Structure 1
Amino acid sequence: MAQGRASFLKILPLIIVGAIAGRVLASMASGSSFLNWLIGLLVVGFVVYLVWLFAFKNQATRKATPAETAAALKFQPEPGKGVIYLYRKQFVAVLVGMDVVLDGQPIGQTRGYCFYRLVVEPGQHVLSGDGKCKEPLSFEVAAGEVAYIEKEILMGAFKGGYHYRRNADVAAAQTAIRSCKLLLPKG
């Protein structure tokens, strides 16, 4: 089980912030009006906020090995258990980690084009998340059943969110999941 680590995509926002901050400071140095300084500080502050939001609010994820991924992509049920495939196949907010909570227990975070394979006891379950989860999804999984649940991002003018949707189209769900990376739950 490989532990997620800093990658170029995680460092890229820092490079962009440095470039923008350098450009703003250089243009501010050429003119010393109060308005130039105020606009420059606002731009730098906004960019720093975006970097914090996207780069440092995300939790580390546990990525699966190729063998674990191959086994998960067989979509086989577990004897006497239920299986939940939770996937997020959207480019919107692709780098933003969004919490997954199953029956009150934190599972991890999803990012764009990732999925979890969760083996659960048969019965009623509730998928929720942080405050951005508009409405938790309550559903039942029978023994030997495989459930496909998509996490959909909701766009808003000032505040977005997400919700869960159970996908009854097995072929479409499996096709979507095949283009995603398997993440391993916490623990």
Structure 2
Amino acid sequence: MKQFSAPAADKAGLYIYRNSFAGKALKKSVSLDGKVIGETANKVYFYKEITPGQHVLSTESEFSDNAVTFQAEGGKNYFARQYIKMGVFVGGAGIEMVDDAEGMQGVRDSKLAISK
């Protein structure tokens, strides 16, 4: 998975990782198009092949889910970084799409998690 081979032309690859100093012990769920992929922990990543088109990637937070919408093209990989932000009572989480270089490094520094 860490070789970042391009997926088939009719699929896109999605890497979701978390490498955050804050909130290392917190586990936060990540969902794609409303379906839970799994719970993240520090230094963990997920990989999922997805169909081309528009997708919504979200993560739970202290008060509400945070989400990012992105357009996936076939034959390409996409990288999303989940990060922990300090909340009033518990840490919340955010998610953002990152460029290939940052994403590849984040994944290299992580271990593959088993998705649902």
Task: Confirm or deny a common fold (TM above 0.5).
Answer: yes
Q: CA deviation at 1:94?
A: 1.5
| Alpha-carbon distance in structure 1 between the residues aligned to 2:70 and 2:87 | 26
2:15 is matched with 85
The answer to whether the aligner puts 1:139 opposite 2:70 as a matched pair is yes
Answer yes or no: is the 8 Å Cα contact 1:92–1:112 preserved in 2: no
1:149 is matched with 80
Which of the residues 158, 175, 184 maps onto 2:89?
158
Answer yes or no: is the 8 Å Cα contact 2:18–2:45 preserved in 1: yes
**Which residue type is aligned with residue 7 of structure 2?**
E
Answer yes or no: is the 8 Å Cα contact 1:91–1:113 preserved in 2: no
Q: CA deviation at 1:131?
A: 4.8
Q: CA deviation at 1:162?
A: 1.1
2:4 is matched with 75
Q: CA deviation at 1:129?
A: 3.1
Runs of 4+ residues over 6 Å off in structure 1: none
Q: Which has the larger radius of gyration?
A: 1
Describe the superposition over 1:109-152 as per-residue Cα deviations: whole angstroms up to 9, x where unpaired.
00001000110000111111335355211111100111111001
TM-score by length of 2: 0.89
Taking CA–CA contacts closer than 8 Å with sequence separation of 6 or more, which of the two structures ends up with the larger relative contact order?
2
Secondary structure of residue in 1 paired with 2:7: coil
Q: Which structure 2 segments of 5+ residues have no match?
A: none
Residues matched between the structures, number: 114
When you count strand as a share of all residues, which structure comes out higher?
2
Superposed CA RMSD in Å reads 1.5
TM-score by length of 1: 0.57
Report the more deviating stretch, 110-119 or 171-180: 171-180
Q: Which structure 1 segments of 5+ residues have no match?
A: 1-71
Alignment of 1:1-187 (within 5 A): 72-79=1-8, 80-132=10-62, 134-168=65-99, 170-186=100-116
Percentage of pairs with the same residue: 29
When you count helix as a share of all residues, which structure comes out higher?
1
